[in-house]
Structure 1
Amino acid sequence: MFTFFLIHIRAHTQHIQHSLFCSHLFHCFLGVAVNYMKEVKKHYNLARINWNGDPCSPREYSWEGLTCDYSKRNQNPRIVAVDLSTSGLKGGLIISFMNMASLENLDLSHNNLTGAIPDYQIKSLKVLDLSYNQLDGPIPNYILQRSQAGLLDLRLEGNPVCSKVKDTYCSNKKNTKSTMLIAVIVPVVLVSLLVVMCILWKLCWKGKSGDNEDYAMYEEETPLHIDIKRFTYADLKHITNDFKQIVGKGGFGTVYHGTMENGDEVAVKVLMETSIAESTDFLPEVQTLSKVHHKNLVTLQGYCQNTKCLALVYDFMPRGNLQQLLREGDDYSLTWEQRLHIALDSAQGLEYLHESCTPSIVHRDVKTANILLDKNLVGIIADFGLSRAFNDAHTHISTVAAGTLGYLDPEYHATFQLTIKTDVYSFGIVLLEIITGKPPVLMDPHTYHLPNWVRQKIAKGSIQDIVDKRLLDQYDANSLQSVVDLAMNCVESAAIDRPSMTEVVSRLKVLLPTTPSQKQYASPSSTKSMNDEMRKQFQLLISGEGNYESSSSFQSRYTSRMTELPPLSGR
């Protein structure tokens, strides 16, 4: 019995050791890959390449020149391709590439690499492109054998080593059969193209309005039951001058500038033809915008319902969107007062959706890119493709949380339960962008969610460090702290702790000066006193001394648990 007990304990211990080893491998693989790539960067002095953090995650910010495998069979993404062609590499080939066990494609062509070719014994390697360098050493047997067996596509043309060797890997011409095949196929393709062009020319020659007639065949016979204008495809061509001027692009398609008969400028959002069949955003956006009317919500002039072309026609916003003004270049910067006005405009638009619509409408994709600006810098909420209507008795439950990375409500992401507080969280991120001028996800030098970055800065008692440098200290110090407080209230992890949009609007209105004389720009003394007070409160909080109410308030505002950034879901 005792022996059985010892065997059981030993087996359990081995199981734990195995689990710890697997966990270590899972978390350390990318760290090893990072080290190898950093060795490459240091060896070749690649200062211009911004390689920081995780090379493959988040997917949208993977390292330049790297391709990662995100297939389901790999729980952890792996580097499968490295492309450093035309990167100014000099000197010998570094051996670090051989340590990347999953590497399939290595492209170091068109550089100034010299010396011998290392014996890269990587079984996964399928393409090794070293063409147009200064390599003169021998070709290792392992690489030659894999190339001759058809397991490796080796490319060495343009190197001194090819002056001594004449083989397929030293020439752009793979073989005589390929050349003959090309010689036969090219004339056939050219003749076919000529025939197709003749047919197309005849079709066009039948009538100058042939293109319009073709699209007219695909107009939906049953219009949507909404009280806004319906445009035909021919109308859109006329309004946009044959879709001449592009003012924006996205996953949905393209936005064109247009002019109506009365001279009004419009923006025409045309969905890509490939996405029409599976477009789930078009109908909700038309239905939502046909029912809502507010000065801070984009106005829908009409729509086009064609099986070949779905389009929405909006009022044109000449100042672009808030994201562009906050982050594109230093030629123009919004003042603090302008930023507060835009924040109030946006908040009023959301308040209307939440409080004045029956049932309430949740936007679900509030972000600076969806806040448009008219010629007077009035903020206009746009892009209602993800909007959902709901009431308090039946909150919307979905199988996936839709939204944009960095703006997504963590509670919604965890429970899939939609409430109006989902928009409040996203608006809090917008407020932080307005204050800092930074994106919702920071990548320098580590990946930070913007609220966490702000909490860290303020916990150190340096509130002026979070303010957009382009403001040049031209802001009201008290107003700044109030807006920071409001933003941090909005991004509380629990929806119940966040204010309503009505409360947000009320607090923003108080912060806007009614006369120029009320402006009080930040000075070194005012920011210093503000920082000293925050540092004092923070120290009291840590030591457990001081007023409980003020310390608790400070903790809830600036030192609450840092939320993890939820992964991107939806669009």
Structure 2
Amino acid sequence: MPLACNALQKSKSAMAIISSASTKLTWILAPLLVLATATIRVHGQPPSTSGFISLDCGNRNTTPYTDSSIRGIQHQSDVGFVEGGLTHQIAAVYMAGAPYESQKTLRSFPNGSRNCYTLPSTPGKKLVRALFTYGDYDGLNRTMDGSPFLFGLHIGANFWEAVNLTSWDPSSTIWKEVLTVAPGGSVSVCLINFGTGTPFVSALELRPLQDSMYPFVNSSVSISYFRRIRFGQATDFITRYPLDPYDRFWEGWSFSYNTYPWMTLNTSSPVRRLPGDNTFQVPEGILQQASTLDTNYSFFEINVAVGPNLDAKNLQLLPIFHFAEINISNQNRRFDIYSDNDLLFPDFSPSRFQADSMHENGQFLHNPTATFLLNKTRSSRLPPLINAFEVYSLVRMDNLTTDADDVNYMKEVKKHYNLARINWNGDPCSPREYSWEGLTCDYSKRNQNPRIVAVDLSTSGLKGGLVISFMNMASLENLDLSHNNLTGAIPDYQIKSLKVLDLSYNQLDGPIPDSILQRSQAGLLDLRF
């Protein structure tokens, strides 16, 4: 979502609140609002940041630092997490208005169709966030020159979302966020060049989630942030860590609209979750605030309308409503909840001082207008109330990543021979259109990870001895290392799958190992010298 650091601007989604009165109450939420004043004051020991990764992209200083506007989170340079790219600073005129220190620098990727960051992690659910502040770093005024300026993001091997900076104020900051499952020891975030502007990134952040949270997120389904709102009276435009121990961004609704007929409720009494309910873990400080209407009004509509970044026809949304009755009176409050014109939850009554999180069991909805209605029932004495609201869009994780062993062996080969091919980053085989140059992958086995079956590194300037990693690749059938400067003896490879081994035009010496010679003599291996 975007972050307008100055005036409100049109975002990928706008939000309008409509009541039953004739006046239309409209809120255009500049997606990331002004974060320069978003410091959260919380007393006591902040929650643990174990597993947090916060990269200040383009920062050449490798000494970690703590941003004064984000209490307790340490940032570090992105050096070592990505290959290639150029480092920049935003223009001096935008420095003072940068919401975070990490937005003052960036890394751009003018070369290659895909450039990937590798974030070390543990298996399990993660929140991954990327932030972008153009800041006219190149002096070309690209966001305002009238031409398209957009590029893509991949999470792992799958398309996540587009970053569309066309006609944006250069001082604005956009963020994108995805909740996903890390399959192994790392998560990759890739920037994709569409040919409509140089991809860049200002900051990358990874936050661990409990595996019990967002149960509809799995290895096949990730969800991309569409809107996350806290209602009631908030003191900051963005609420994040340490109030939220998972550092989710909660946008403050009251900063955009908080006049009659709207009313805010708050309480200092505890608002609890049901025992064992760890599904969303909305911070208690957010649930202790709510918004409702004057009793003369009966409904309101939340409109997070689709903007130019998303295809409304194919958009699939997952809304999550968070309620807690914090009105001290014991009057009856009941309402229906609609998605567009479809009734989701009839005759709902929020529990007193207890969190109720309503969603369609992870079911994604076709809601091209992205509107949600809360309507008072006839038996209710009070109008609807809401404490917090999350909306996500579907990210399909259909592209399986390359077999983990094959990936590790190819990384060993890359490191051993110091290969600097532009497209040798990210997943070696997936998605197909971005597979590594010189590799042939087998995608034929349904619901199984692609395997590398051929490696062609002929005429690649390889020097030194033969690396053993090749022969550990259980599916490798064809290996071409011809026309290089390889030296030394041929290792005694126990090659079972290999059918073609081309070592011609190198500087190898010594005898051919019996294991290789016997397979060649038996016609099982085409050995070329």
TM-score (norm 2): 0.24
Higher relative contact order (CA 8 A, sep 6+): 2
Which has the larger strand fraction?
2
Which has the larger helix fraction?
1
Larger Rg: 1
TM-score (norm 1): 0.22
